[in-house]
Amino acid sequence: MTDNNNKLRSLVLAALMVFSVFAGSIAFAGTASAANLSSGQLFYQGQSLNFTVSGDTTYQIREVDDGDSLGSTVAAEDPDSDGLVSFDTDDIESGSYVVVSAEARNQPLEVDPAGSAPSDPAGEDLAADINAASFDITEQTITAEFDDDSVTNADGEDSDTTLEIDSDTRTSYDVAISAENLDEDEIEEIFGDPVRTDDDDNPVYEVSGDNLDADFEDTNAGDYNFTIEVTDTTAEDTASIEVTRAGDAAYDLNDSSPTVEEGDTVNMSVELRNTDSAIVQIGGDDVNFQTTVLVESDEDMANLTFNTWNTSSQEFYGLSAADDDTEITDIEEGDGDGNIAGDFDDTGVEGYLGEGSYEIEVFNPSDYNASSGDDDEPSPDAVGTLAISEASLQSAQTWTANADDLDVDNAQDVLDAAEEGTVTQDQTIAQEDAAIIQIQGSGHFGFLANYSDDEIASAFDSGQMTFTVEETDAGPNQNADTLDVTDVYASDEANSVFVVVDTSETAEGNDVEGTYNATLEITEEDDVAVPLPTEDTSVSTQFRVVERTASFESDNMEVPAGSNSTISGETSIAAGSDVTVRAQSISGADNPFVMTDTVNVTENGTFEAEFDFSDMEPDTNFTLEATAQPSFEDDVEADAMFVEAENQTTSGNETTMGNETTMGNETTSGEETTSGEETTSGEETTSGGEETTASGGEGTGDGTGTSANGTPGFGIAVA
């Protein structure tokens, strides 16, 4: 008897998995949120499972463990006034279950398909009773996706699409469809008349296959996210689609007059309205250069990059997609050849495109006859002019930063760091800090674009250009030491290349202290196959590498015992670096203490720590120490003694003792006393290095980092 029950139950469950519905006592899937609970059947998480009883006994649902024992209770319900017991299965996990009464929790009860009162199956043992009484719950899942990413709101085929809905566990069910920016009537206009609406007035549609037809005619243009929920289970998914305005395709150039220097790259954008494709052509017979491409984008803008260097060696003669949303392909002629150069007489140039005006034309692909020599070539939908101007190599200058804290991945990061003050202009570099050489100019960014960010340093070994950092004072009868390049970052937009140089030691392994000349040289035309437009020019800058040093104002400091006492010093390390100042009581002190303050080095090479010494007794001796990473060459220490707080800055009297040295080649010595008036004695000496700029008249420099246009710093607007 048990074997027969097992076989019958297996057949029933298999059929349910395929058809998901039984006629008669089990509610049709999706037609209602409730189903008559019946032993031996399959139900879905989220359905309400019902049966009717007489009396007021509490009923429970218990898990089945290993098919022959009962597990934990997952639900309990009392009958309502009509004797209906209804279990909500939203939170019940997939598995096998039985119904039991609260009065006899270890006795599985069999429920017949009519949903009438459960009864004892009277099996031979517990396992037999479980087999006869159990039912299964599983989680339904669905996927929903439109066949098209985009449709128009025009009358016709372009507004039609299909919403594909698929479930691995059911073949027939109802779904409620909603969208944040569409009401009930608008959804019904798209998907047609519903079978009903749910409690939230969302239209409900029967899914008996795997799709729903959708028509977005007259729907407002925009992006729509639809939520598709199965009405009687927990299954749901979302589907997105873009609706574009009806009308003819229209085009525009975001910038109709772009400019670029010879040999560099330029970005340009084509606006796409009511279309996702365009034909873009640059040049013509008058400039002996032409490139024509088919551009496609799912967005309203197709973004392109045009490289003006050595176009004959590049795919599409220098045009490329500037982002992942834009695609460039060969234009397919009516006969399917798809050969751009052959069909459109496109012509590349070996070398760089020369100065001049290059016409930009944008065509509708459906209007353009791709046949070469066609007299009926349509008028362009958008036109512009690319102006290519003369390239020039302008100047070089030196910047510095703490090498450990230099967190940059590209040229924009360097610009941002300069804006934040963690990269500063300086021709005196502390050993192990980063020396950053900025080369300003144009004409080489198209060539550098052929190298990835990780490979760009190898461009200096290509033969087109060379970069060296060489010692200037090597002495007689010995070769000059050199420094290694660690990173190179190029920004065509900023017309700058940043070269990061290692100052920990020379490339030859020698002591790094000394003066160095950093030079970028563009190879002359006769020595390379494809020259750069600034060939046979160079720029250079000079900097000095010094020890990592620091000192306090004096070896014997008098510090006010106040709440805002400051301790100052000076250092050779890069501005923005951290210096930790530690104040510590001497050994055997009655009131031992240790205090630290970590501060940044300022642009003039000083640091100032602040302490609360208000609890300290005057005439108490203590020590000061300054540390940094990388560490200073020698220990930086000073003896100190607390004095009455009235002498500190906050009381109106300030006394500064000792010598103060500001890095960057400025030295000030003497004493400064402030007590309602200020007297300064001593001498101030300022000495600066030299900045050498382009040979042959290419560029200027004065050692201050001022660019040719008179702007201090990078010589450009820092983003």
- Please, are residues 270 and 253 in contact by the beta-carbon 8 Å criterion? yes
Partners of residue 325 on adjacent β-strands = none
SS (HEC) of 508-561: CCCCCCEEEEEEEEECCHHHCCCCCCCCCCEEEEEEEEECCCEEECCCEEEEEC
CATH among 1.20.1740, 2.60.40, 2.60.120, 2.30.31 for 251-389? 2.60.40
Six-digit token string for 507: 């490339």
CATH match for 2-138 among 2.60.40, 1.10.357, 1.10.10, 3.30.9: 2.60.40
Burial 132-165 (b: 16+ CB within 10 A, else e): bbbbbbbebbbebbbeeeebbbbeeebbebebeb
Chain centre to alpha carbon of residue 150? 26
Closest CA to 364 of 378, 350, 344, 352: 378
513 Cβ neighbours under 8 A, 6+ residues apart: 431, 545, 546, 547
Residue 8, φ and ψ in degrees, nearest 5: -65, -45
Angle at 680 between CA 674 and CA 686, to 5 degrees: 135
What DSSP string runs through 617-674? PTT-EEEEEEE-SSPPSS-EEEEEEEE-GGGSGGGTEEEE-S-EEETTTEEE-S-EEE
Query: How many Cα atoms are found within 13 Å in the side-chain-facing hemisphere of 618?
Result: 8
Quick one: which of 206, 325, 207 has its CA closest to 276?
A: 325
Q: Are 498 and 437 in contact (CB under 8 A)?
A: yes
| Residue 109: closest CA among 93, 92, 126, 88 | 126
Locus of tokens 């290095």? 689
Sheet holding 203-207, edge to edge: 150-152, 236-244, 222-230, 173-179, 203-207, 196-197
Name the residue type at position 19.
F
Contact call for residues 305 and 359 (beta carbons, < 8 A): no
The first and second tokens of residue 234, run together, are: 């927990």
Q: How far, in Å, CA of 671 to CA of 682, rounded?
A: 7
Closest CA to 308 of 258, 383, 270, 269: 258
For residue 291, the cross-strand partners are 282
Q: What are phi and psi of 649, to 5 degrees?
A: -55, -35
Predicted local confidence at residue 387, as pLDDT: 98
Task: Report the pLDDT value the prediction gives residue 98, as an integer from 0 to 100.
Answer: 95
CA 475 to CA 426: how far, in whole Å?
25
Structure tokens at 290: 């032409």
> Domain spans of the chain?
2-138, 142-244, 251-389, 393-546, 550-678
Q: State the Cα–Cα distance between residues 148 and 76, nearest whole angstrom.
A: 47
Residue 354's identity, in one-letter code, is G
State percent of the chain over pLDDT 70: 82
Q: Which CATH number fits domain 142-244: 3.30.70, 2.60.40, 2.40.50, 3.30.360?
A: 2.60.40
Q: Which CATH number fits domain 550-678: 3.40.50.300, 3.40.50.720, 2.60.40.10, 2.30.110.10?
A: 2.60.40.10
**Six-digit token string for 431:** 């050993």
- Looking at residue 345, its pLDDT comes to 73
Closest CA to 198 of 213, 177, 214: 177
Domains 142-244 and 251-389 share a fold: yes
Helix and strand numbers (H, E) in the chain are 6, 51
Low-confidence ranges of the chain (pLDDT < 50): 1-32, 333-342, 370-374, 647-719
At residue 440, the 3 state secondary structure works out as strand
Phi/psi at 466 (nearest 5 deg)? Answer: -135, 145
Q: Are strands 538-546 and 496-501 parallel, antiparallel or unpaired?
A: unpaired
Mean pLDDT of the chain: 83
Which helix (H) or strand (E) segment holds residue 191: the answer is: helix 184-191
Report residue 446 as tokens: 């198209």
Query: 440 is written with which tokens?
Result: 């300003």
Q: Which CATH superfamily is domain 393-546 in?
A: Immunoglobulins (2.60.40.10)
Give whole-number Cα distances, 551 to 277, 580, 634, in Å: 66, 12, 10
